[in-house]
Structure 1
């Protein structure tokens, strides 16, 4: 049941942030805080979400700096807007829950990343949340390649964070994603 709630929470966050961008950031932040508090292993969950979100923010920042993405707005301290950073945190909150199955199936994660990640940005472009700086098809192919690599990497990072948390905690109270399945 929690996996379904996690999936619905991410979808709600995606739509709020894409359609309204910074207007309802506080709703998504509240959902993320509730997620961290309510999920077991809160410190491990927070660490996984943080590391995965940072990987995504770095990736999108590099794409924005290279002109692949163009975001409206001025006065940003990062190359990507705050709402997109928050979206990465929301996405990262699915890794150990609604997307946990992919953590041990890297080829499937790569394939779904290539399709799902790319379609997410195409939908964002169609809804005018982002502009592509390159022509449409080269951008789509570039995003598919990046997401095909990024998804397995994010799952590997997640597993490394979980392993470190187990060693730091020194007990068996932490379950890895693989053990949960």
Structure 2
């Protein structure tokens, strides 16, 4: 039997997804690394450029709704992480106000919106899996930020990691509904 060819469209989509993942990770790393150095606005600037670049690839009629969804996701994440900070579970470096999530952490919530359309296709119909990934991936990402020096946990760290796991276990399945709200024919959760 010969090799099966999936054609140039599949290869192009796979390469596009890989490129998006690599750039997403680079922007995340740049935002967190700059926050670790006390540079409060580098992360938001990087995320804004990435989000705007992504928005320009969308159909014109979707851009406004998608950018509104990005802003609302950033606001919801800021409230959630500010609650964690006010409760003493985490302290974000490069903060403007004590106990309030810094602009760089807000920008990371906005950055998540770029990943949602692809993730939504995979996970929107499996909310339990999305909750599990959020409950594990959220604390892992925050722990990486702590290791990089962008935030700190009190000792012992496990209550902070547990609180972040609960936050992301709830938030991630809800976030995956955003693409279906922005574009009802996107095929995500309805």
Tell me the TM-score normalized by structure 2.
0.77
Q: Deviations over 1:148-168 (max 9, x none)?
A: 1111122235534544xxxxx
Deviates more, 1:57-66 or 1:148-157: 148-157
Query: Would the alpha carbon gap of residues 161 and 35 (structure 1) be closer, same or farther in structure 2, given more than 3 Å must change?
Result: closer
Aligned to 2:69: 48
Q: Which residue matches 2:5?
A: none
Q: Does 1:80 align with 2:90?
A: no
Distance 2:142 2:67 in 1: 25
Task: Report the more deviating stretch, 89-98 or 67-76.
Answer: 67-76
For the pair 1:178 / 2:188, whether they are aligned, the reply is yes
- Rounded to whole Å, the distance in 1 between the matches of 2:19 and 2:66 is 16
- Tell which deviates more after alignment, 28-37 or 117-126: 28-37
Q: Between Structure 1 and Structure 2, how many residues are aligned?
A: 168
> Do residues 123 (structure 1) and 144 (structure 2) align?
yes
Spell out the pairing of 1:89-108 with structure 2 (5 A cutoff). Answer: 89-108=110-129
1:34 counterpart = 2:53: yes
Seen in structure 2, the aligned counterparts of structure 1 residues 58 and 94 have a Cα distance that, compared at 3 Å, is: same
Partner of 1:16: 30
Q: Report the TM-score when normalising by structure 1.
A: 0.80
**Mean Cα deviation higher: 77-86 or 122-131:** 77-86
Contact 1:51-1:157 within 8 A present in 2 as well: no
Match of 1:169 in 2: none
Unaligned runs of 5+ in 2: 1-12
| Aligned counterparts of 2:166 and 2:155: Cα–Cα separation in 1 | 15
Other structure's SS at 2:124 match: helix
Larger Rg: 2
SS in 2 for 1:39: coil
1:44 shift after superposition = 2.9
Aligned-pair CA distance for 1:73: 4.1
Higher relative contact order (CA 8 A, sep 6+): 1
> Are the aligned partners of 2:134 and 2:165 in contact in 1 as well (CA < 8 Å)?
yes
CA RMSD of aligned residues (A): 2.4
SS of aligned partner of 2:118: coil
Deviation at 1:18, TM superposition (A): 0.8
Equivalent in 13, 17, 20 of residue 6 of structure 1:
20
